[in-house]
């Protein structure tokens, strides 16, 4: 949904037009998908994807282009179906991920972290002045240690 101020509400509903009337401000339904299995999970994933791009306002509201919101939904559907896992970075309508560096082969992995583990990684990322993605890459590089980063 698109509000008069240009913000986008990304959510799921069985009846989007009825939901739009209950928002409390004037919004227009600008994009609908076919029925999605795991709609709540897809919604949460799409929110995270847009938030990684630094455009989250609050709740289900984002400052984003329509194409970015649609792309976030598409990525989230593939994530929910376990076809794709985006660990972060800037959302682009032109493509995903970074090209392999120095002829290396890129492999996508899926890991589950506890909240404490994620907070620890975020702390290391802040300490090193890098993104969460880069901290995870650094952690997974078996030839380095955290001490080497200082």
Residues 105, 124: Cα–Cα separation, whole Å = 26
* Tens-digit pLDDT profile for residues 89-144: 344 444 444 444 555 555 556 677 788 888 888 888 888 888 887 777 777 775 65
Beta bridge partners, 2, equal: 8, 28
Residue 43's nearest CA partner among 28, 30, 29, 33 is 33
* Tens-digit pLDDT profile for residues 97-110: 444 455 555 555 66
Per-domain residue ranges for the chain?
A: 2-80, 115-149
Please tell me which residue, 17 or 132, carries the higher pLDDT value.
17
Residues 132, 148: Cα–Cα separation, whole Å = 17
Residue 132's nearest CA partner among 92, 97, 86, 88 is 88
């Amino acid at each position: 949904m698109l509000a008069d101020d240009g913000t986008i509400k990304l959510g799921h509903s069985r009846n989007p037009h009825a939901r739009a009337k209950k928002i409390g401000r004037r919004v227009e339904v600008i994009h609908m998908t076919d029925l999605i299995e795991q709609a709540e999970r897809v919604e949460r994933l799409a929110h995270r994807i847009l938030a990684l791009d630094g455009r989250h306002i609050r709740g289900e509201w984002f400052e984003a282009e329509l194409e970015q919101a649609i792309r976030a939904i598409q990525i989230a559907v593939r994530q929910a179906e376990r076809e794709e896992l985006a660990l972060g970075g800037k959302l682009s309508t032109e493509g995903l991920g970074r090209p392999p560096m120095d002829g290396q082969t890129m492999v996508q992995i899926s890991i589950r972290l506890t909240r404490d583990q994620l907070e620890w990684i975020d702390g290391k990322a802040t300490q090193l002045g890098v993104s969460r993605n880069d901290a995870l890459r650094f952690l997974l590089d078996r030839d380095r240690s955290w001490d080497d980063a200082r």
